[in-house]
């Protein structure tokens, strides 16, 4: 796990720098910086809108006495998307936007749910329900 995180935190910034340098050399510095700022502003607005929608779904499902399973996965993915949009760069912005758009978030959610199911079945993740181990 440490090795994977190390690779992630070393490789992604290099890829982002490469993309930004290439864009800057082809488009110019001002348009490249403008694109980074615009994606940040648009991403923040989209993250707020999607986040509030997910919060309403969670509250609605809980008021009906239901466990908000899908809505919690959506909330996690919206949070990750918002964090990625705060990180300067084009690649992280692209992934962040994909996590905030409901249609593409569905694909990520499917993979996340499959991953969580495998971890639960293997015993790597244990969850409780009503104070009892399940």
Is residue 67 one of the residues assigned to a domain?
A: yes
Q: Whose CA is closest to 36, among 74, 84, 93?
A: 93
pLDDT value, residue 69? 82
Is residue 89 one of the residues assigned to a domain?
A: yes
- Extract the tokens encoding 21: 């340098």
Q: Which residues pair with 128 in a beta bridge?
A: 133
**CA–CA distance, 33 with 38 (Å, rounded to integer):** 9
Q: Which residues pair with 132 in a beta bridge?
A: 129
Domain that holds residue 114: 44-121
Is residue 87 one of the residues assigned to a domain?
A: yes
Is residue 20 one of the residues assigned to a domain?
A: no
β-pairing, 132-133 with 128-129? Answer: antiparallel
Is residue 3 one of the residues assigned to a domain?
A: no
The total domain count for the chain is 1
Q: Whose CA is closest to 36, among 80, 83, 90?
A: 90
Mean pLDDT by 10 residues, the chain (134 residues): 84 91 94 88 89 91 85 91 87 92 92 89 78 52
Alpha-carbon distances, residue 88 vs 21, 77, 78, 122 (angstroms): 13, 19, 17, 37
Is residue 131 one of the residues assigned to a domain?
A: no
| pTM score, whole prediction | 0.79
pLDDT value, residue 23? 93
pLDDT value, residue 132? 53
pLDDT value, residue 107? 93
pLDDT value, residue 26? 95
Is residue 102 one of the residues assigned to a domain?
A: yes
């Amino acid at each position: 796990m440490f090795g994977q995180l190390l690779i992630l935190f070393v490789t992604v910034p290099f890829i982002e720098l490469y993309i930004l340098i290439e864009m800057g050399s082809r488009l110019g510095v001002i348009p490249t910086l403008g694109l980074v700022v615009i994606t940040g502003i648009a991403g923040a607005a989209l993250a707020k809108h999607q986040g509030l929608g997910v919060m309403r779904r969670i509250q609605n499902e809980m008021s009906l006495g239901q466990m908000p399973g899908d809505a919690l996965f959506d909330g996690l993915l919206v949070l990750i998307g918002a964090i990625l949009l705060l990180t300067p760069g084009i690649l992280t912005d692209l992934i962040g936007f994909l996590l905030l758009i409901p249609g593409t978030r569905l694909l990520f959610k499917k993979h996340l749910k499959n991953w969580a199911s495998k971890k639960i079945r293997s015993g790597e993740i244990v969850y409780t329900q009503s104070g009892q181990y399940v």
